[in-house]
Amino acid sequence: MTTDLTGVSAPSRVADLDEGISVEELQLAARNHGLPLEALRFDLTPPGLHYLLTHYDIPAVDPDAFRLVMDGVVDGPLSLDLDAIRSRPRRSTVVTLECAGNGRARLRPRPVSQPWLVEAVGTSRWTGTPLSPLLREAGLPDDAVDVVFTGADHGIERGVEQDYQRSLPVREAMREEVLLAYEMNGAPIPPQHGYPLRLVVPGWYGMAQVKWLTRIDVVADPFDGFQMRAYCLRQQPEDPGTPLTRIEPRALLVPPGFPDFMSRTRVLRAGPTIVEGRAWSGWAPVDAVDVSVDQGQTWSSATLEPAPDRWGWARWSWTWEATVGNYTMSARASDASGRSQPVDAPWNRGGFANNLVQRVAVTVISLSDLAGIEEP
Amino acid sequence: MTTDLTGVSAPSRVADLDEGISVEELQLAARNHGLPLEALRFDLTPPGLHYLLTHYDIPAVDPDAFRLVMDGVVDGPLSLDLDAIRSRPRRSTVVTLECAGNGRARLRPRPVSQPWLVEAVGTSRWTGTPLSPLLREAGLPDDAVDVVFTGADHGIERGVEQDYQRSLPVREAMREEVLLAYEMNGAPIPPQHGYPLRLVVPGWYGMAQVKWLTRIDVVADPFDGFQMRAYCLRQQPEDPGTPLTRIEPRALLVPPGFPDFMSRTRVLRAGPTIVEGRAWSGWAPVDAVDVSVDQGQTWSSATLEPAPDRWGWARWSWTWEATVGNYTMSARASDASGRSQPVDAPWNRGGFANNLVQRVAVTVISLSDLAGIEEP
């Protein structure tokens, strides 16, 4: 029997130039969420504020029945329950994770998918056991090419039914910082972030951080699964594409003052204001953050604090003598590899890796402006 | 000095009939979030999955400097620190909270605000101390009319600068179930849900559940603050409006099968399927849930389990002999007060209390359909 799935799973598309956000994009935006930007003030993002993107459903994984299977071309397959994983060497790393699609909804024309503006980021302390000793134990043959990670999340995407699967080249999988994580900020991982076990690959975009991990397969041929083809930079659907890997540099500022409910424009009273934020890059340490209040015409150097961990964001701050007027604030990070943030975003069809500088509208008012708080 | 705030804080508006979701609505949808519907499977919603709506910013409240002030026309004002509040009688209640704007984005024309589809709900165990003994201690005079609750969240809305403020009539504030809550699901309330102290008014929509509570003022005149006027049912902006209070009945189902990433349409393999969900009402206990798979042409009775707590949702289930085809699934709750869910939603300008029945598109396929999972 054949079922017509045309209405269920359509090809990817790009919105018309004058097309508002669609209900299907809104469905994704209502269930996934970004970091409210004021939460950049936390060194570690509290649960529920860290960005979240789930391709399908959050699966229900029974921790008692759980087994992680390691198989493929390894010398000896392994099957480990949670106690076995937890009894192995324990390691914690602070890691900033960012969705590869962050910034997608700011591109023109807009690729139709999860419509992130700028907020798909978060920083946690991930605790687990390093992957590389486990791979060595299973035994890696000389012809091993990729390591394939399979999650318990199941769905259909562009017509292909699948468990979520991503691979890493063997050399990346063997990096000592790559973790099989079972704790987030010192507690069991919440259901939506991969309970009971997920992969953490510091420096890479979120698509590599396979949640609800159930299988690890070492393969002797390059893995070409759906998600490997999906997360590529392309101009046209038929382009072979450049695979996404590490996180491009970005700085975000804690929007100063207070917001209007609907426009989210900031209102700030005149006077000296400490502007602060965070900056990160998966390629190399951030070595400079600049701030502009005039739409990028002029830039000032912010004070950059050392990041507490190579893979976590760094705090920066800058003192602004704010005078009455309308401003557009931006922050721009550069890293030690020479990468920086563009002020005009290059377009790509998937809407990936758009690290265009943030723009925050701020209206500075005098101390006596506005009606003040309503008193009971 | 006068600053032009026209661009900062515009009047409320209704979208054109053919207008897609705007970037300003998306800004709200990206920072606030609903309950991913598969999380209806949890009796208590885990942190980070409970719906969240913050009008302004999540404020940073210093727990050591925190004082709750009770003032107004009481006989003796009180100022309590967190230890004083925690040392008072302790009470826990399971409460389902829902945003008054849930369902707004399904109205035509669409009121422009936080664009909820159907997912702005969650259920937690809230623990704190009952409010009524505190009010009695402070001393309520005979002419007390309203009790005004002030949060630490500060912003501007439709041109009015304000701390978030809502009142309850004295008789509602004195209900024994009304709590000053400091724990959510057995842990300190997360920052985004009102840390360190919030009001919990079982049965009422979310706008009454003042977060980051700092002041309680008893007043002798009806309180007419901004949020009291905002949360009203109106056809025209100049209508006096009917204030929103209690939650209208609603049932939601856990979408069966697995989703397509983009359309969120469900794909299900044919055969007997247990369909389950939750139902609640702030007016009276839910006494029936009906399920339809044919766009509401015919309805079947679901099995309703007793709610574990009057103010928490009830679980329901129904077995479906699913055969190949395309379906629209709905669930409809009725309560003991005679209220039920409409199949055509009445419109109102704020987009409030739209408890239109949920519609879930499901494509049932045969066991052999689709290409199957890609194997590494």
Going from N- to C-terminal start, the domains of chain A cover 23-243, 250-365
Kindly indicate the confidence band of residue B305, based on its pLDDT and cuts at 50, 70 and 90. Answer: very high
Q: DSSP letters along B119-178, please?
A: --EEEEEEEEEEHHHHHHHH---TT--EEEEEEEEEEEETTEEEEEEEEEEHHHHT-TT-
Measure CA of the first residue to CA of the last residue in chain A; give whole Å: 67
Whether A92 and A181 have beta carbons less than 8 Å apart is answered as no
Mean pLDDT of A73-78: 97
Of A8, A41, A373, the CB nearest to B260: A8
Q: In chain B, what residues touch A39 (CB-CB under 8 Å)? A: 58, 191-192
Cα–Cα distance, A122 to A117 (Å, whole number): 14
Six token digits for residue B122: 């969650």
Closest CA to A132 of A140, A124, A122, A144: A140
Cα–Cα distance, B263 to B276 (Å, whole number): 22
On whether any CB of chain A is under 8 Å from the CB of B262, the answer is yes
On whether any CB of chain A is under 8 Å from the CB of B225, the answer is yes
Is the pLDDT at A6 greater than 50? The verdict is yes
CA triplet B225, B26, A38: central angle to 5 degrees? 65
Six token digits for residue A350: 């998937």
Closest chain A C-alpha to B42 CA, distance in angstroms: 10
What is the signed CA dihedral for A15, A17, A22, A25, rounded to 10 degrees? 50
Closest CA to A25 of B99, B20, B352: B20
Closest CA to B358 of B99, B42, B103: B103
Of B12, B105, B155, the CB nearest to A258: B155
Quote the longest CA-to-CA distance of chain B. 75
On whether any CB of chain B is under 8 Å from the CB of A346, the answer is no
Q: CA–CA distance from A191 to each of A127, A135, B36, B59, B121 (Å)? A: 16, 26, 11, 26, 17
Is the pLDDT at A5 greater than 60? The verdict is yes
Q: Is the ipTM of this complex over 0.90?
A: yes
What residue type is assigned to position B359 of the chain? Answer: R
What residue type is assigned to position A322 of the chain? Answer: A
The position carrying tokens 């978060």 is A122
Q: Which fold has domain B250-365?
A: Immunoglobulin-like (2.60.40)
Whether the pTM exceeds 0.90: the reply is: yes
pLDDT of residue A3: 59
Q: In chain B, what residues touch A165 (CB-CB under 8 Å)? A: 374, 376
Whether B163 and B152 have beta carbons less than 8 Å apart is answered as yes
Domain B23-243 and domain B250-365 have a common topology:
no
Closest chain A C-alpha to B248 CA, distance in angstroms: 21
Instruction: At A44, give phi and psi (nearest 5°).
Output: -110, 130
Kindly indicate the confidence band of residue A345, based on its pLDDT and cuts at 50, 70 and 90. Answer: confident
DSSP at A288: E
Tell me which H or E stretch contains B228.
Answer: helix B226-230
Whether A330 and A255 have beta carbons less than 8 Å apart is answered as no
Mean pLDDT of B184-213: 98
Superfamily of structural domain B23-243? Oxidoreductase, molybdopterin-binding domain (3.90.420.10)
Mean pLDDT of A330-346: 96
Q: In chain B, what residues touch A163 (CB-CB under 8 Å)? A: 373
Kindly indicate the confidence band of residue B369, based on its pLDDT and cuts at 50, 70 and 90. Answer: confident
pLDDT of residue A163: 97
Q: In chain B, what residues touch A219 (CB-CB under 8 Å)? A: 376
Q: Which three-class secondary structure state does DSSP give residue B84? A: helix
List all residues 6 or more positions away from B261 whose beta carbon is below 8 Å from its beta carbon: A55, A56, A155, A156, A157, A158
The mean-pLDDT minimum among A91-105, A270-284, B237-251, B357-371 falls in B357-371
**A345 vs A199: which has the higher pLDDT:** A199
On whether any CB of chain A is under 8 Å from the CB of B34, the answer is yes
Mean pLDDT of A226-242: 96
Give the ranges where chain A is alpha helix by DSSP (H).
23-31, 82-86, 131-138, 170-173, 226-230
On whether any CB of chain B is under 8 Å from the CB of A9, the answer is yes
Q: Give the nearest chain A residue to B50 (CA atoms).
A: A48
Six token digits for residue B110: 């669409």
Six token digits for residue B216: 């309680």
On whether any CB of chain A is under 8 Å from the CB of B336, the answer is no
Six token digits for residue A84: 């076995």
Closest CA to A349 of A207, A208, A225, A232: A232
DSSP bridge pairs for B114 = none
Q: Give the nearest chain B residue to A223 (CA atoms).
A: B376
Whether A107 and A148 have beta carbons less than 8 Å apart is answered as no
pLDDT of residue A371: 56
pLDDT of residue B342: 95
Mean pLDDT of B96-124: 97
Measure CA of the first residue to CA of the last residue in chain B; give whole Å: 67
Of B26, B42, B112, the CB nearest to A21: B26
Is the pLDDT at A108 greater than 70? The verdict is yes
Whether A94 and A309 have beta carbons less than 8 Å apart is answered as yes
Distance from the Cα of residue B299 to its chain's centroid: 27
On whether any CB of chain A is under 8 Å from the CB of B264, the answer is yes
pLDDT > 90 in chain A, percent: 93
Mean pLDDT, chain A, whole residue set: 95
B285, burial (CB in 10 Å: exposed 0-12, middle 13-18, buried 19+): middle
